[in-house]
Amino acid sequence: MSEQATGTQAVDRAAMLIATVVRSDDPVAFADLADECNLPKSTTSRLLTALERTELLERTDDGGYVAGPLFWQYAARHDPWEELARLSMPVLEAVGEHTGETVNLGVARGDRVVHVAQVNARYLLGTRDWTQLEVPAHTSSLGKALYAFGALPIPTGALEQLTEATVRDGGQLTKHLIVVRRHGYATTSDELEVGLSGISAPVFGARGETIAALGISGPTTRLADQLENFGEYLIDQAARITKLLAKPHAQVRPSTLRESKEGAA
């Protein structure tokens, strides 16, 4: 085997070890790494030593391997949602092409929703830069999706009333969220402002936790008759983002969770 081929093989094996450790929820033992990557123990030991030396991996006190300091340094210097937005953008663009409406990806920060990515509507009416605005979570479909699937704490007591259609209090919101969980997507109609509607579905992480919501918004006159169709469509598109983020053997589909919630109502 040539020197170049041997070097490439070593890189591939080292990358496989790193990927196995990073994807694991817990520290990975040496023997498990060798078995899972189908490598001789001598090769595994040599590569792990190099990966520790370069701070790509490190050992815990119990001897298991976890991601090394370089990963944490990178994460500390970058907004963790930037990578989510980058990975999700092809899906957002596809949703925008299909619906023609403004598309947003929202995440929970504390008790509010932050828009981390947007694709503008094809129509002049309905285009708005939501990334620069903060609205009450209970008035947006993104917020309702994050409430319903556990990413935001559900408020109690009276809620800010922006229109006559706005959810009035935590009790009314809780009842509404039962329907959201049963359907698998959230909707708003004239609740943030008269004439504006929205539809959103949750995006799940590798362990089934809700990490974001994918949604569209536009004039009520265009969306009123499309809520169910677009809701089902957004469930599928949110599942595409989930697949990008989840481990290959631990994918979580919103449809599965939706089916498990059928008895909640």
Residue 239 belongs to domain spanning? 80-264
Same domain for 22 and 138, yes or no, is: no
pLDDT of 46 reads 94
Q: With a cut of 70, which residues of the chain have pLDDT below it?
A: 1-6, 73, 75-80, 125-128, 131-132, 246-265
Which CATH number goes with the domain that contains 36? 1.10.10.10
Same domain for 135 and 40, yes or no, is: no
Same domain for 104 and 230, yes or no, is: yes
Same domain for 203 and 221, yes or no, is: yes
pLDDT of 245 reads 76
Same domain for 98 and 165, yes or no, is: yes
Beta carbons within 8 Å of 51's beta carbon, 6+ residues apart: 14, 17, 18, 57, 68
As beta bridge partners, residue 8 has: none
Same domain for 26 and 84, yes or no, is: no
- Domain final residue, candidates 52, 76, 100: 76
What total of structural domains would you count in the chain?
Answer: 2
Beta carbons within 8 Å of 74's beta carbon, 6+ residues apart: none
Same domain for 53 and 173, yes or no, is: no
Same domain for 62 and 160, yes or no, is: no
**Each residue of 27-65: pLDDT tens digit?**
999 999 999 999 999 999 999 999 999 999 999 888 999
Residues 203 and 210 sit within 8 Å (Cβ to Cβ): yes
Residues 157 and 169 sit within 8 Å (Cβ to Cβ): yes
Same domain for 106 and 236, yes or no, is: yes
HSE-up of residue 48 (Cα within 13 Å, Cβ side): 25
Same domain for 59 and 92, yes or no, is: no
Same domain for 119 and 224, yes or no, is: yes
pLDDT of 123 reads 81
Same domain for 139 and 153, yes or no, is: yes
Which CATH number goes with the domain that contains 128? 3.30.450.40
pLDDT of 76 reads 56
- Domain final residue, candidates 13, 41, 76: 76
- Domain final residue, candidates 29, 45, 76: 76
